[in-house]
Amino acid sequence: MKKLINNPRAVVAESVEGFGRAHADLVTVHPDPLFISRKDAPVSGKVGLVSGGGSGHEPLHAGYVGRGMLDAAVPGAMFTSPTPDQILPATIAVDGGAGVLHIVKNYTGDVLNFETAAELADEEGVTVRSVLVNDDVAVEDSLYTAGRRGVGGTVFVERLAGAAAERGDDLEAVTAVAQRVADNVRSMGVALAACTVPHAGVPSFDLAEDEIEIGIGIHGEPGRHRIAMEDADGITVHLLEPITADLALTAGDRVLLLVNGMGGTPASELYIVFRKAVELLEAQGVQVERSLVGNYITALEMQGASLSVLRLDDELVELWDSPVHTAALRWGV
């Protein structure tokens, strides 16, 4: 294992410290208990947004703290849920008097720990709502979840709910936007090679040189099936067809398309996948109205990619295009 680290047990703390120093104009790092907040938090009268999860998926979630997205992010250990004693102070820190929305990926530890933190926040007088992101069409249940996993669609939920909060929507309205996005986004991924968690020191799963895993999770969880390696167009078909079927997309639908790298895939390859995905959607009469291509929710250095498709409407397009200023997303500012 070759990685640019010091002590494998100190990776998260040192990485977050570096992130905070690199983006000191945007965020404040709170070291004990560990969480990252928006520099100007709490924003008086604005709904606060908190999300988090295991580290190793950067830029999710810390990279999305700032204007138009999250007010706080709570990083756990590598591929491990953050604890309630991290989530609670993050929630309190961003409460500007309008309540707080928790955006939670559907992993058992995340769900339980955010639920506990919400109950404790209520006792502190902070009103909390929660939206669960479960956009992965690859599986219904896995080792980590009861139901579908939360993956790339989380970026859309955080961005669009964050835009609604920045617009001045109240807690119920922000929650409704987040839920609408979660209900209308689907994702699926593929792994060409595994990643290595620093404290483990060995790849998280084995794939032969001529094999790929269709439907892989962002922690290396098994997918739908393992098949022989195909070209980029063939792989894109495998990823997109289950998404469009599950969303029941029809001619005339407008979508936001994310082609996401898992950490070890060159941008040139992601654009080849994007090219084919647009071609397939347009053949169905579906308009790709907005798009993202790049590393937005990763699995350390895993080779592979995921597709996420969100059905759009006029309000969601307006929210998407509104100003955002974070370390990983920035436009209109």
Which amino acids are annotated catalytic?
57, 219
Q: What are the two backbone dihedrals, phi and then psi, of residue 162, each rounded to the nearest 5 degrees?
A: -65, -40
d(CA 238, CA 235): 5
> Using an 8 Å Cβ cutoff, are 109 and 79 in contact?
no
d(CA 146, CA 144): 7
Distances from the Cα of 74 to the Cα of 93, 128, 161, angstroms = 12, 16, 17
Q: Cα 195 vs. chain centroid, distance in angstroms?
A: 18
Peptide bond into 323 cis (omega under 30): no
> Using an 8 Å Cβ cutoff, are 220 and 195 in contact?
yes
Classify residue 204 by its DSSP letter.
S
d(CA 273, CA 233): 7
d(CA 280, CA 26): 39
